[in-house]
Amino acid sequence: MGLVLLIIIWLITLVSTYFFVAKWWWLPVGASAAAAGIDHHFTVSFILMGPVFVAAQLALGWFAWKYREGGTSSKGAEYSHGNATLEVLWTVLTVFLFVGMNLMSRSIWASERFDSAKPGAVQVEVTGMQFAWYFRYPGPDGKFGLTKPELEDASAGGEAALGLDAKDPASKDDVVSGVMVVPVNREVEVILRAHDVIHSFFVPQMRFKQDAVPGLAIHMHFTPIQTGEYEIACAELCGLGHYKMHGILKVVSQEEFDKWLAAREAEKQ
């Protein structure tokens, strides 16, 4: 039975480790400026924790077999209540490992979350509602117009869904889109809002996720560095349509972005 335990535990450990190392199912290729640092820290964490996982499981299987009753290497059990030096040693090592690993990531977290978006970033207001995403651009005046809950009409889509107040002069040049378009290599500042329940804006390739909370306007930023189309998936349970509340993020060249935005502005006239 000890041998079977060893074989099964070792097999499970080695097979599962293989799939991690071979990256059969893995992070998609990163497309934001932060991705390299985050992916690097993933690697560091796997390199530090992986051997611990493997060693602990292999030791477990090994001991189960080696110290089986009736086996050649076990006479009587060793009467020992422990070893204080070992306790201290592995406690200190574990503290260093865990806390050290976390501290290594501090600078990335700081640059992602402590610092605000730089001036000149492209501003996009991202609003989640059951069950769609809307994206609003402030237009040439750089100001977002007021929205009023009583003006909301989700069935009409676009500006009506957000309850945009046409009487506010700042609203005149706001562009509302069902697709999020941003220029490449420029910082994007997202202002996250929600109308009804908590939603969450998640783009895996951008390594970007943030909850959109009703009653708050949360400012975050990321910088796309690769053009393309990326899926936005809602990452906080928001009701029966949670699984189909997805959007598209299009990262295009600066010229294409300007053209697109200008065209949308023109439509409003």
Partner 1 sequence: MQAAHAHEAPQGFIRKWIFSLDHKVIGLQYYFLALAAVFVGMFLSLLMRIHLIWPTATLPFFGEIKPETYLSLLTMHGTIMVFFVLTTAPQGGFGNYFLPIQIGAPDMAFPVLNMLSFWTTFLGFIVLLAAFFVTGGAPLHGWTGYAPLSALQSAGPGEGLGADLWITSIAIFCIGALMGALNFITTTLDMRAKGMTMMRMPLTVWAWFITAILGLLAFGVLLSAGILLLMDRNLGTSFFVPLVTVNGQLTGHKGGSPLLWQHLFWFFGHPEVYIAILPAMGLCSQLLSVFSRKPIFGYKAMVYAMLSIGFLGFMVWGHHMFMSGMSPYTAFAFSIMTMGIGVPSAIKTFNWLGTLWRGRIRFHSPMLFAIGFVSLFVTGGISGPFLAQPVLDIYLHETYFVIAHFHLIMGVASIFGIFAATYYWFPKMFGKMMNEPLAKLHFWLTFIGAYAIFMPMHYYGMAAGLRRYSQSTEVAYILKLLPLQRFISIAAFITIASQFIFLFNLFWSMWKGKKASDNPWEATTLEWTTATPPPHDNFSGKTPVVHNGPYEYSVPGAPRDFVMQSDPEIEPAH
Partner 2 sequence: MASFTTTTTVDDPRISLGGGGILPPVLGGRGDDGSGSPNYTTRLRRARLGLIVAVTPILMLFVSFTSAYIVRQGLPTLDPQTNLLVKDWIPVKLPALLLVNTVVLLLSSLGMELARRQFRGEAALVSGGTASEVSSTEQNKMPWLGMTLVLGLLFLFGQWTAWKQLGASGFYVSSTASSSFVYLLTGTHAVHLMGGVLALLVASIAALFRRASARRSIVIDVTAWYWHFMAALWVYILCLLEFAR
Where on the chain is the footprint of partner 2 (CB under 8 A)? 144, 146-149, 163, 193, 215-217
Closest to partner 2 by CB, 60 or 146? 146
Which of 120-139 are b and which e, b meaning 16 or more Cβ less than 10 Å from the residue's Cβ? ebbbbbbbbbbbbbbbbbbb
Which of the choices partner 1, partner 2, none does residue 38 contact, using the CB cut-off of 5 to 8 A by kind? Answer: partner 1
Residue 178 phi, psi (nearest 5): -90, -5
Closest to partner 1 by CB, 114 or 266? 114
Q: Which of 157, 169, 214, 228 binds partner 1 (CB under 8 A)?
A: 214
Question: What is the smallest separation between the CB atom of 150 and partner 1, expressed in angstroms?
Answer: 7
Closest to partner 1 by CB, 114 or 120? 114
Collapsed DSSP state (helix, strand, coil) of residue 208: strand
Which of the choices partner 1, partner 2, none does residue 146 contact, using the CB cut-off of 5 to 8 A by kind? Answer: partner 2
Is residue 236 within the footprint of partner 1 (CB under 8 A)? yes
Is residue 12 within the footprint of partner 1 (CB under 8 A)? yes
Is residue 60 within the footprint of partner 1 (CB under 8 A)? yes
Strand arrangement of the beta sheet that strand 175-177 belongs to: 175-177, 132-137, 122-129, 188-194, 218-222
Q: Which of 47, 99, 262, 263 binds partner 1 (CB under 8 A)?
A: 99
- What are the tokens at 162? 């957000």
The DSSP bridge partners found for residue 147 are 164
Q: Which of 172, 186, 246, 250 binds partner 1 (CB under 8 A)?
A: 246
CA proximity to 159, closest of 192, 181, 135, 195: 135
Which of the choices partner 1, partner 2, none does residue 169 contact, using the CB cut-off of 5 to 8 A by kind? Answer: none
Please give the helix or strand (H or E) that residue 125 lies within, else none: strand 122-129
Closest to partner 2 by CB, 13 or 147? 147
210: CB partners within 8 A, 6+ apart: 190, 192, 200, 201, 218, 220
